Amino acid sequence: MPPRSSSSAPSWCFTTPAATPARRVPSPSISRSTDRGSSSGSPWKPRPTESPTLVGTRFCPPTTGGARTMDETPLEHERRGKVLRLRAAGIEPYPWSWPDRVRSGEVRRRAEALAPGETDPGSPVRVAGRIRAFRTHGRTAFADLEDADGPLQLLLRADDLGEEPYRGWLRDLDPGDIVGAEGHPARSKRGEVSVLVGALTLLTKAIAPPPEKFHGLKDAEERLRRRYLDLIASAESRERFSARSRIVYELRRFLDEAGFLEVETPILTPVAGGASAEPFVTHSRYLDEDLSLRISIELYLKRLLVGGFERVYEIGRCFRNEDADTTHNPEFSLLELYWAYADYNDMRSLVERLYERLGGIVATLLPDRPGAQAAAREFRPPFAQIDFVEALEETMGVRGLLERSPEELARRAREAGAHLPPHASPGRCLDKLFGHYVEPTLRSPTFVMDHPALTTPLAKRHRRLPGRVERFELFYQGVELANAYTELNDPDEQELRFRDQVGESGEDRYAYDADFVEALRHGMPPSTGIGIGIDRAVMALIGAPSIKEVLLFPQTRRRSAPAP
RNA sequence: GGGCCCGUAGCUCAGCCCGGUAGAGCAGGCGGCUCUUAACCGCAAGGUCAGGGGUUCGAAUCCCCUCGGGCCCGCCA
């Protein structure tokens, strides 16, 4: 670390040569001219040979390279002119680095003890961030800087910075520019935590202006398409996505502590199985075969149970070539977990502890978000449990539902508003009925238990209840948050169910995975498995109304070219 | 796939019902101001009214089509 201080003057004083670190070689700043003592001739007087049009009309950029392009706005044109002027003055608008930086939180801590108008006499700090607002006030100016820790005011005075820089390049500074400032923690006379700046360095010139400083970016479409602007303008948005990252991080920690091993399995697969959904299909030139992007992770993870791994999970992107809406995106993140020698009761208890942990995390992360606070309150074990059939019969006011004819079930489902194909299976009808009558009523966390076997071909039959499988789904606020089974591990039954599915649907969307059946023949231990949609889990935990609020870049249509 | 709503300056929005020179604030320009914080004061500028077509003497405004987005319903474990 090179020496920072000078014996002759306060180290932060703008006009002191040692004001900036000696190693700051590739990072020219406004202190550059004084650094090198080039006192002859101000860099602010444009040299006529280089940019003649700067004389007289300050804001008419030079013609060389300054011509306004077709799709450039007047504002951007103006800012490009500033770039040229800065370069003409020997200031690099896009320097290389800004070492020894502290974040605004550090400054805030040091300035907290100060009285209004007081300056911390200790060592200077170097901060960096984007300028959100700029208030000039004659020979004093205020800039609102923002970095990862939040906002921080810069207090800039001509007396500190020097006449030429203050009247010169500071005027070419705009909201949206990224700057580095060196100076002392201070409080303004009004008490605002600030940095009393001794030297200000342009770190990145923004050509395009940021969103409006007070209202931000509201247009829903623009917020999705240009998420970076949403993030610049909205602390709430930044916190939301940070919270998502933390949720996934805590999820991994929880599972690792529980002894589960994270693995990675193929996304490009010959057969997209494990769920009923339309896959995206692509083509391998190497194999000269069509491959599907996975729609679930299930069948590969179960192969690992056959292979001897006893607790595995994967968190990964899955893809379904279907519509997008407030709860669906064509690509989404799925957690699947498989646990040998355990059953769905063990899994239920794991899920309770998991959501309890995550609820506590979001409550801490997002103290001002009602949805997050509600989640922390609600996800307290034990969660409610209801029996699939009992709950449905009670809500519908019908007895013996499982003994009703397929025709009656289809009729009742259609009466409930479901659009069903002519020969919809009874299982499908029961699913529809449950989705219509019961699911919307499940507001607090509720396990729906022991589905009819008809609705769930891939789970193991119930050990006591005939016609049922060992399965649970977790619902919260009417949305499914988890789906778990005691897994089917009988290879012959698995083969039959694959065949039934393919035959019954009459569609090619159900894929017969012969290789998976072959794996089961070698013996998969009794196991339980679960799938949790990460995006929906995050939505539930933070109270987001749409999946687009928890996806950084949700799928959007290509912007169309103007019609001819 | 069906219904409803939205698209005006870089950003946030008026104007649209009831057709008659397209407005404001922020941001940007010029000038002023040594403690402001949505700073303030003065001046000047900034537009493919999403795109195309139609009605009309005249269309941001009325009608049709297209594009993009949002919400609801449907479809999709």
Read off the pLDDT of residues A295-340 as tens digits, 9 standing for 90 and up: 999 999 999 999 999 999 999 999 988 888 888 898 999 999 999 9
- The DSSP letter of residue A397 is T
- Minimum-distance nucleotide, CA of A549 to C1': B70
A224-CA/B68-C1' distance, Å: 12
A20-CA/B44-C1' distance, Å: 40
pLDDT in tens, A21-74: 333 333 333 433 333 333 333 333 332 322 222 222 223 333 333 344 556 778
Average pLDDT over residues A238-247: 94
Averaged pLDDT of chain A: 83
> What is the reported pLDDT for A398?
86
Query: Which residue do the tokens 């959904």 mark?
Result: A277
ipTM at complex level: 0.90
Q: How far apart are CA A485 and CA A73, in angstroms?
A: 58
> What is the reported pLDDT for A181?
95
Q: How far apart are CA A125 and CA A246, in angstroms?
A: 29
A558-CA/B63-C1' distance, Å: 29
**Strand-strand pairing, A289-293 and A311-319:** unpaired
Q: Which residues of A460-489 are buried (b: 16+ CB within 10 A; e: fewer)?
A: bbbeeeeebbbbbbbbbbebbbbbbbbbbb
Q: Which of A15, A60, A301 is nearest to A159 (CA)?
A: A15
A234-CA/B48-C1' distance, Å: 30
> What is the reported pLDDT for A42?
34
Q: Which amino acid appears at position A163 of this protein?
A: E
Query: Which residue do the tokens 């539930």 mark?
Result: A540
The answer to whether residues A544 and A329 touch, using CB atoms and an 8 Å cutoff, is: no
pLDDT in tens, A421-477: 767 778 888 888 898 889 888 889 999 999 998 888 788 999 999 999 999 999 998
- Minimum-distance nucleotide, CA of A276 to C1': B77
Give the H or E element holding residue A186: strand A178-187
Chain length of chain A: 564
**Strand-strand pairing, A384-387 and A446-449:** parallel
- Minimum-distance nucleotide, CA of A151 to C1': B37
- Minimum-distance nucleotide, CA of A323 to C1': B76
- Minimum-distance nucleotide, CA of A193 to C1': B37
A365-CA/B4-C1' distance, Å: 37
State the pTM of this model. 0.84
Strand B nucleotides in reach of protein CB atoms, 7 A cut-off = 1, 9-13, 25-40, 46-48, 50-52, 66-77
Residue at shortest CA–C1' distance from B39:
A135
Residue at shortest CA–C1' distance from B48:
A562
3-state helix, strand, coil split of chain A in percent (to 5) is 35, 20, 45
- Minimum-distance nucleotide, CA of A74 to C1': B46
> What is the reported pLDDT for A383?
95
Q: Which of A159, A212, A164, A175 is nearest to A10 (CA)?
A: A159
A555-CA/B68-C1' distance, Å: 13
Tell me the CB-side half-sphere exposure of residue A38, using CA atoms within 13 A. 13
Cβ contacts of A415 within 8 Å, gap of 6 or more = none
A217-CA/B45-C1' distance, Å: 24
A453-CA/B77-C1' distance, Å: 14
